[in-house]
Structure 1
């Protein structure tokens, strides 16, 4: 397990009113490429820096090109400031090129706010998540990020690594940050992209790069590991779409996401 924290590897430092410096960690990568949720969280930190509305409520990111680990810049632009919510644009740039373009709605999450929900899938059973996901994919791609975080699969999902895909396109388990660091709204932007691709339960592949990622942050998480359900829905024309639901240790839905990714089968 890593000796650093997610807060440290996703930190940004202001260098101008709308500009921030960042350092992309080589440890938070898949096959040497930075994880998409990690990059979104990094931009999200800049989007809420020194704002009255300090929580990301929604984010939509497009990934134009994959940056390399190392120095990068984040630029933010306030599009609208409102009483209950504001909108912010953020860009991650490296070597003069835009790598990630994102739009954020930011506001304030109220602890313990009453809510109604219907039609959600059942949360995974945390007690059954005992298989730790290794730092190599089923086809041998190195996944350095799995040496930083702790992802545990239930027995059925673990078959992706132990017996091969089931064909259901579904992965269930738990997620813990390095050192048990508590999750915050901005780190939930990473949590929804922390699991291996759900397409691994259809067919083993190499890197499955995120093309677009949309996230809704629903609540501040209670302390403890998150419970995650990651599903693939459609694979066609070298593209795959997936959804992710995330619950905290108290069973509250704290985030959900959809993403479009590239994929190459066979």
Structure 2
């Protein structure tokens, strides 16, 4: 078991290759969380492009869920410019490609008030008035190991107002948030479809994250909302504010979902 920083480290093997050890505690139902995997790939991308230390954007497709344990990562620098570097990465396990991602890397400043933003931070009760989400999902038999490592506090009283939306707080108890861990934060909340009656596994097919600034110390304010449900797919948006109520990350995700039999 390792903290987030240690659990996402990679070791270079030369020629754009890296070794990674996928930690079993950063999992949902025994499979590594998609945002955690994106952070592992970000480490390799940054190690391959020393000129730019921060992920500005990341877009990943999830082909096959890996298991905890050893994995191989490759990183290919596509372009290096004055303000940004683009890198293609791939995570494989047992000769099977599991995740591919494209990164735009740059240098981020601390979050400040934006010139314009289309939505204010959502209202939330104080974090200490909400209960931490338990690692055992009630009634599902599913153990979410990563919830033993983070402090997630959802405002369940606000669920349904508006429909398809979850709001709450998120903290890494032993590590301050940074641009790489924000990639994980963008995929750390339950699927918004749970507020609309879905159940069971909700696998991510594609995840795109924009990291906008370095967050101030303290918990993150998170809003996750479903935008469109078709028969088996949902696209949902995650918006993240730091402790000073400045936007620090945004994400869009396409996922599969299940509804109980009618």
> If the TM-score is normalised by the length of the shorter chain, which range does it land in?
over 0.9
* C-alpha deviation, 1:110, in angstroms: 2.4
Quote how far apart the aligned CAs of 1:115 are.
3.3
For the residues of structure 1 that align with 2:162 and 2:216, how far apart are their CA atoms? Answer: 33
Inter-CA distance 234–137: structure 2 relative to 1 (3 Å threshold): farther
Match of 1:28 among 21, 26, 29: 26
Tell me, in whole angstroms, the C-alpha distance in 1 between the residues paired with 2:259 and 2:15: 45
Whether the aligned pair in 1 keeps the contact of 2:20 and 2:72 (CA below 8 Å) is yes
Unaligned runs of 5+ in 1: 160-164
- Worse-matched range after superposition: 186-195 or 49-58: 49-58
Aligned pairs, how many?
257
Cα distance, 1:173–1:230 mapped onto 2, change above 3 Å? same
The equivalent of 1:217 in structure 2 is 211
* Alignment partner, residue 106 of structure 2: 107
TM-superposed CA distance for 1:28, in Å, is 1.0
Structure 2: distance between partners of 1:104 and 1:38: 15
Residue in 1 aligned with 2:164?
169
| Inter-partner Cα distance in structure 1 for 2:113 and 2:121 | 19
Change (3 A) 1:200 1:112: closer
Q: Is it true that 1:68 corresponds to 2:71 in the alignment? A: no
CA distance in structure 2 between the aligned counterparts of 1:18 and 1:200, rounded to whole angstroms? 40
The equivalences for 1:142-221 within 5 A come to 142-157=143-158, 168-179=163-174, 181-221=175-215
Q: When the two structures are superposed, what TM-score results if normalisation uses the length of structure 1?
A: 0.91
Contact preservation (8 Å) 2:2, 2:23: no
Deviation for aligned residue 1:237: 2.3
TM-score, normalised via structure 2 length: 0.92
How far 1:204 sits from its partner (Å)? 4.1
* Cα-Cα RMSD: 1.8
